[in-house]
Amino acid sequence: MAKKYIDINTLKFQLFDVHELESVLSSNYYNQHDVESINLFLESVKDFSDKELHPHFVEMDTQPAYFKDGKIIVHPVVETVMKKGGELGIIASPIEMEDGGLQLPLAVHTIAYTIMEAANNHLLGYPGLTLGSAELILSFGEENLKEKYVPHMLTGEWAGTMCLTEPQAGSSLSDVTTTASPQSDGSYKMNGQKIFISGGDHQYSDNFIHLVLARIDGAPAGTKGISLFVVPKNRIAEDGSLEFNDVVTAGDFQKMGQRGYCTAHLMFGESDDCQGWLIGQAHHGLKYMFQMMNGARIAVGRGAAAIAMAAYHASLEYANERPQGRKIASSGKKDVTAEQTLIINHPDVRRMLLLQKALSEGAICIVMQGAHYHDKMKAANDHQEKKKYNLLLEMMTPIVKTFPSEKGIESANNGVQVLGGYGFCSEYILQQYLRDIRIFAIYEGTTGIQSLDLLGRKMLMKGGKGAHLLAQEINGTIMSAMAYDELKPYAKTLGINLKRIADVMEFLTAFAQKGDFERFISDATIFMDFMSTIVAGWQWLKMATLAKEALVTGNIKYENSFYESKIHAMKFYFKYEMTKTQGLAEVLMDEEVLTVAKGEEVIV
């Protein structure tokens, strides 16, 4: 296995320089932390990852989670990440202090999880969903629900999950059929099945706190009739002991990757004895769940970026150690008597490595931009300011989820290719990264769903205000970059692309205005590719501008080569990736519609 799975300096550059952590640390909300305490936290997370998580990464793949005798059995390191991780604060980190959390900025939490996920991506869903469930209960649950469940969750003693998907409904939450019947004691009797429940059952938690979408008897059809319930695997009896709450594990889905992260099939109320407690108001469940879902979407983007970076370092290490072939001389021939060169010196290998770097670091930068907006929102005292950052976060969320997932797959795929035949072999780690990362474009709403969200909702919301704010942000970076001659051409290219977004939106919204909403939305996924490619270009220009500034002012924290490599990767990204946007715009503005089914035409 590769020796290095993450570059800490790159993450610190992201956290402190590119996404200006100190600008939120100065706020009342976050001022109990400082740079030093945060560095200490991140060091302990890195140490934990090195010693406790990374060593078990391959085992989690070769000894996957499995279902036996009604139980799911997972690798023992799951206990480590929950209990020791809980002690370390990885579940409590972004939670408010008055609720027992550390109230750390999401940006810090994101970097901490990125380190751990790069070390072992099969693990972080366990504490991550526990945290998300706790946050949801804290946000919308009644006091007694908070008191009963949250403290046990923040320590990692109990686990939390989100239960949305049902076999017949898939991504279509309108069709959720799990039922909840009101009982005289104020609880509900639950009945239904949920599938694809990540971390839904295993031997290392005394209890599982499931957040379940269901319909109260007589609820309206569609998403407007969905309510949210806390349904523990074991309910708390009068005497405080745990008693089985009729949540039965029916199986564990076996998968091509992330095999150590279990995926449960759960049955609620098979014996008619499953109790649930309503969160917030009836029929408003989906709205509440979206808080957790948005958090989970950011987490998915982060996980994908982490895997892509780990894969990059594994490929880079191989390319720096493996001699093969020779450089081409000016004659076009090779001198076969010369020593072999390291493969990193072959332009095509270097291209693939730079592509991995450009996509994976571009990906984490996008995730961090989202986290930064979250923190600015929390830190803001002013209501308008809060709304602004909330809108920016909403704009970014589908991109934060999708760019790292889609481009991360491409990046890891190139990582396999760097190793040639060895990349495909089980004894090298690249194939595992590729298998693991594949699910990220599916988790928490597929790329198709995220794309509908971006084009169909976010671009248009509040009269296009979110899109306008985002364009302003991008323009700010363009202005900063224009200060440096070396960066000017790239700043101009980014400007051209901002204009291109406006052109595409003008063309597409005409369809929505005419009522041809299906046409408007039909190439949403192409729009996502187009838009997120530009957003990543924005992030790279931002990184390059800060790197250039550091080099010019001499105000540097790392080697010169560190900053130079960021500028080089930016140029690479603009040359090889930003050149795709024109073709994508052409697709989006093509008059011909080829994917909207008119009748019963056969694809054959």
Q: Which of residues 550-579 bind a second copy (CB under 8 A)?
A: 561-562, 564-565, 568, 571-572, 575-576, 579
Give Cα 194 to chain centroid, integer Å. Answer: 22
Q: Which of 1, 22, 385, 517 binds a second copy (CB under 8 A)?
A: 517
The nearest distance, CB 416 to a second copy, in angstroms, is 7
Residues 15-54: x/- map of binding to a second copy (CB under 8 A)? ----------------------------------------
Give Cα 160 to chain centroid, integer Å. Answer: 18
Site membership for a second copy, residue 603 (CB under 8 A): yes
Q: Which of 456, 484, 507, 549 binds a second copy (CB under 8 A)?
A: 456
Complex with a second copy: residue 10 or 205, whichever CB lies closer: 10
Site membership for a second copy, residue 472 (CB under 8 A): no
Label each residue of 283-300 as H, E or C: CCHHHHHHHHHHHHHHHH
Burial code (b: 16+ CB inside 10 Å, e: under 16) for 190-208 equals bbbbbbbbbbbbbebbebb
Tell me how long the chain is. 604
In whole angstroms, what is the distance from residue 33 CA to residue 27 CA?
A: 10
| Cβ neighbour number for residue 76 with a 10 Å cutoff | 11
Beta strand ranges found along 457-535 (DSSP E) = none
DSSP state, residue 439: G
Complex with a second copy: residue 98 or 485, whichever CB lies closer: 485
Report CA Rg, the chain.
Answer: 25
Site membership for a second copy, residue 524 (CB under 8 A): yes
Complex with a second copy: residue 128 or 423, whichever CB lies closer: 423
Q: Which of 40, 479, 510, 596 binds a second copy (CB under 8 A)?
A: 596
Site membership for a second copy, residue 58 (CB under 8 A): no
Q: Which of 159, 377, 439, 508 binds a second copy (CB under 8 A)?
A: 439
In whole angstroms, what is the distance from residue 474 CA to residue 539 CA?
A: 9
Residues contacting residue 79 through CB under 8 Å, at least 6 positions apart: 204
Site membership for a second copy, residue 325 (CB under 8 A): yes
What backbone torsions phi and psi does residue 212 show, to the nearest 5 degrees? Answer: -120, 130
- Collapsing DSSP to helix, strand or coil, 376 comes out as helix
Complex with a second copy: residue 108 or 567, whichever CB lies closer: 567
The nearest distance, CB 60 to a second copy, in angstroms, is 16
| Positions in 140-159 near a second copy (CB under 8 A) | none
Site membership for a second copy, residue 427 (CB under 8 A): yes
Residues 224-243: x/- map of binding to a second copy (CB under 8 A)? --------------------
DSSP state, residue 53: I
In whole angstroms, what is the distance from residue 389 CA to residue 395 CA?
A: 10
Among the listed residues 410, 412, 402, 391, the one whose alpha carbon sits nearest the alpha carbon of residue 367: 402
* Site stretch for a second copy (CB under 8 A), options 232-240, 280-288, 293-301, 431-439: 431-439
Among the listed residues 123, 101, 109, 104, the one whose alpha carbon sits nearest the alpha carbon of residue 49: 123
Tokens of residue 313, six digits: 């370092």
Residues 155-194: x/- map of binding to a second copy (CB under 8 A)? ----------x---xxxx-xx-------------------
| Positions in 76-105 near a second copy (CB under 8 A) | none
Site membership for a second copy, residue 513 (CB under 8 A): no
Complex with a second copy: residue 76 or 222, whichever CB lies closer: 222
